[in-house]
Structures are given as C-alpha cells and as structure tokens.
Amino acid sequence: MTELLIKRLGLHGDGIAEGPVYVPRVLPGETVEGRIDGQMLHDVKVLRPSDRRVSAPCPHYKSCGGCQLQHADDAFVADWKVDVVRQALSSHNLETVFREIETSPPKSRRRAGFAARRTKKGAMVGFHGRASDTIIPVERCEILDPGVLQGARIAEELAIAGASRKTALAVSVTLGKSGLDVAASKGKPLDGPLRQRLAAICEAEVIARLSWDDEIVAVRTPPLYEFDRISVSPPPGAFLQATLHGEAALLSAVREITRGAGRIVDLFAGCGTFALPLARHSEVHAVEGDGDMIAALDAGWRHADGLKNVTTETRDLFRRPLVPMELTKVDAVVLDPPRAGAEAQVVELAKADVRRLAYVSCNPVTFARDAAVLCAAGYVLDWVQVVDQFRWSAHVELAASFTAAHMR
C-alpha cells in the first residue's frame, strides 16, 4: 500500500497526488493510502480526512457512477466549481467578476439515462458504476426528481420486451408537463409484435411518448415542455437543460445581457430555451443544426400569444458559421454551443460589430478558449455566472456577458 497526499482536484473531480496519481472521492489536503495501478489509486483508505468531508446523503454513492462530490460539503463544491472556471480563464490570462453561484436543489433533475439488461428472470436496471459497464440498481436518488426515478420501472419493462441479452438497453427518461418522454436505444429491431408490446407499455405506464432507436412507436399525448410558459413539443432525445432551476438561472442571465436589444440572434438555439422567452421583448433569429428541433421551436412560436417575430434557420454552425455581414443590424447574440464550444463561430463574431454577447457554456475549457478570441478582438468579459444544475457532479455550466469595448 502507498501513502499519498492529495494536492488538488482535477476537472473530473478526482483528487490529484504527486506523480500525478488520480484518486476518486477524496479532497485536497487529505492523506490516503491504496494500491497504485498506473496513474490510479485503488482500494483507497482515507487516513487523515479533510474538515470539508461529509457523509454522502445517498446510500448508492460508493458504487454508482453518477455523482463524484457527495463526500464534500456544499460550500466546498460551490467554491471548487467557480474556481474551475476561474482557472480555465487564467490559463488564457483572463480575469473577470464572478457572481454568486446558482445551485439547483436536490431531487430536481428532470432527465436521466437508465441502463437495463435483460436477465433470465427479468431485467436489471440502474446506472452504470464508475468507469464500468456494471449496472448498479438504484432504489433512491438524491439528484433526480422522483417522477424521473419512476422511469426505472419502465426501463425494466422495456428491457424484458425488447432488449438483447448481449447489450444493455439505454433508456432516456425526461419529465415534462404532460408526463414522461421515454426514448430507448440499443434494443432489438422493431417488428410487428414488438411494436404492439411497446404500445401496450406506453398506455399502461401512462407514458407521454415512447421512441425506439429514434423512431416514435407510441404517443399517448404530445410531450410538452415550457420555456417561460411557452409550450414546445421537442423531438425525441432533444437537448433540454437538466433542471428547471438551472434553466431559469441561465435565462435570467441571458435576459440581463440582452435587455433592450431590438434584434437578437440565438445561435445553437435548440428548441427555443432562450429564443422564445427573449421574443417577448425582442425580434429573434434562431439558428440550429438539427432541423427537427428548429421545427419544434417554430411551432412553439406560432402557437404562442404576444411574442415578437421569430425567424428560424437550420444550419451547421461548425461548418457554416454566420459571418459578419449576416450580423449587421443585430443588437445582441446568444451562444449556447455543445461541449466542443463555438470556435469557428467565435472567429466570425470577433470580426463582427455586435454590441453584446451572451455565452452559455457547459465546458469551462472551451469557453475560456473562445473567450480569449473574443477578448483579443476587443470584447470585454464583464462577468460570469456559474450555474450548478448537475449537483454533486464535476459538471460545470455558466453564462457570461461580453460587451464590445468601443460600445461600453
């Protein structure tokens, strides 16, 4: 056994000791011992714990791979997540004002992905263990809305009906206004008998919609989600913010940044998380690479009352970013890219004459990279609002305000 001192936490929430050696579920300043295998420490025992260590609220924490930081007190997690963003910016010699972090409450996550493996006597359902294909059955969960956790029973029935014995069925469950939206993948090919069994499960379990490998097989009622009281029915598997609290915090920041803008361009607009609420006071042009999502956004706008004009465009912003000429007469831009960031689009924005930018990010590293490009082009990073809607995980989200320096 080897004894180590934990110096800091890495981006994935693991402790890092000299070497480097990575140690899960530990805290800076703790002395631990264990068995080194490559760069990982296994069979970890904490010899001298940190005063920031607490008892994990979930009985499945040690085996489940969903959370990484339940062993740390809330103040430590909040400070660490803000510091992750601060350090990412510092690597590009950037500094800014950090607002107080917004953290979603326990049991508020509205979507989850279950793994379900068919067995001789039924099915095993749960979440994957840490860095493992092992399925950990979960009877309770401290992060999921209880309505989402009901999806475990549905996943079991789906696995019995149509999972392969060789591959675990992946079941995505999202809680919306009209009930659960369920999408399964990696199952058996659809045929007539399987369709009938799935339709029966949908009806018996009061599922709003059931999809199988991207094909809708049953709809009891259209799944609805509200963005500031504007109803939208997204396609199966569409991106949605993880919690209503987190969505509201990000929207509040974006509204503040874009306040007073007559015309806004929303890039990577999804189903309208920001575009539709912003249309209460501004004209919006929404751009998104997924045609089904942009169609859902457009339908939501057409069925809503009291919104200003919203135009839509299906466009791959990684290959065909908007160029400066397309951004003339635009008062503000909203960016909400995936984890890869918006490198190509930011290069064009850096050359454009847009007064205000609201950048929503789920990856501090790519955000900092893009922020450096904008700041080098004359934008000022006014402030950052960190939003923790993936409580007890290493995932960090944020909203940031940029202003063109010559317009401050």
* Sequence letter at residue 206: V
Element (H, E) at 84: helix 74-90
- Outline where 182-341 has alpha helix (H): 192-204, 244-258, 275-278, 291-303
Peptide bond into 338 cis (omega under 30): no
Structure tokens at 48: 């001298």
Q: Which long-range contacts (CB under 8 A, 24 or more apart) does 207-210 make?
A: 207/154, 207/179, 207/180, 207/181, 207/182, 208/176, 208/178, 208/179, 208/180, 208/181, 209/181, 209/182, 209/236, 210/182, 210/183, 210/184
Instruction: Report how far Cα 196 is from the mean position of its chain's Cα atoms.
Output: 33
Helix (H, G, I), strand (E, B) or coil at 58: coil
Quickly list DSSP for 227-248: ETTEEE-PPTT----S-HHHHH
Which 3 state secondary structure label does DSSP give 5?
A: strand
Cα dihedral 140→143→149→155 (10° resolution) = -100
Catalytic residue among 64, 67, 202, 362: 362
196 to each of 152, 161, 190, how far by Cα in Å? Answer: 21, 10, 10
Contacts of 50 (CB under 8 A, 6+ apart): 27, 28, 29, 30
- Whether residue 362 lies in the annotated active site: yes
Structure-block tokens of residue 329: 């007469």
Amino acid letter, residue 209? R
Tell me if 119 sits within 8 A of 166, measured CB to CB.
Answer: no
Strand order in the sheet with 123-128: 135-136, 123-128, 111-118, 169-176, 179-185, 207-212, 215-219
Active site residues: 362
